[in-house]
Structure 1
């Protein structure tokens, strides 16, 4: 779970730094997660 928290923090940092680019990154990450088979 700690990894998830770290990822969320990174996303928040990206949003604050890159703004709209951060949104595009989130969309890309979500798409990657959806394409990746669930582990377990």
Structure 2
């Protein structure tokens, strides 16, 4: 049986991992966009 505190911990962990995944995707897409713009500018 899962205690309410355990449920709260699971919810917090999942929300944190979702936030980290979102931040990672945004930062990676921003870096890729900047690099592609630099490459296009050189061409």
- State the TM-score, normalizing by the size of structure 2: 0.42
Q: Which structure features the higher share of helix residues?
A: 2
Which has the larger Rg?
Answer: 2
- State the TM-score, normalizing by the size of structure 1: 0.45
